[in-house]
Structure 1
Amino acid sequence: MGEVRVRKIQEFIKQEVSAMLLREIKDPRVGFVTVTDAKITGDLREATVYVSLYGSPEEKRATLQVLRQSAGYFRTAVGKRLGIRYAPSITFAEDTSLDYGMKIDRLLRDVEKKE
Structure 2
Amino acid sequence: MAREFHRADRVADAMRRELSQLIQREVRDPRLGMVNINDVEVSRDLASAKVFVTLVGEDDPAKIKTSMDVLNKAAGFLRSQLARAIQIRTIPRLQFRYDETSVRGQELSALIDKAVQSDRSHHDDEAGDNDGDDKE
Q: TM-score, normalised by structure 2?
A: 0.78
One-letter identity of the residue aligned with 1:48: K
AA partner of residue 50 (structure 2): T
**Offset of 1:68 from its aligned partner?**
0.7
Structure 2: 5+ residue runs without aligned partners?
120-136
Percent identity between the aligned chains? Answer: 26
Deviation, 1:3, is 4.3
Would you say 1:57 and 2:50 are equivalent positions? no
The residue number in structure 2 matching 1:29 is 31
Indicate the structure (1 or 2) with the bigger Cα radius of gyration. 2
SS at match of 2:20: helix
Distance 1:17 1:97 in 2: 20
RMSD across aligned C-alpha pairs, in angstroms? 1.4
Secondary structure at the aligned position of 2:6 is classed as: helix
Residue 39 (structure 1) aligned with residue 28 (structure 2): no
For residues 80 and 20 of structure 1, what CA distance do their matches in structure 2 show? 11
Distance in 1, Cα, partners of 2:89 & 2:116: 55
Question: 1:103 — aligned with what?
Answer: 107
2:78 to 56, 65, 74: 74
Q: How high is the TM-score relative to the length of structure 1? A: 0.92
Give the SS at the match of 1:91: strand
| Count of residues in Structure 1 that have an aligned counterpart in Structure 2 | 114
2:126 aligns with none
- List runs of 5+ in structure 1 lacking aligned partners: none
1:112 corresponds in structure 2 to 116
Query: How far did 1:39 drift?
Result: 0.6
**Deviant stretches of 4+, over 3 Å:** none
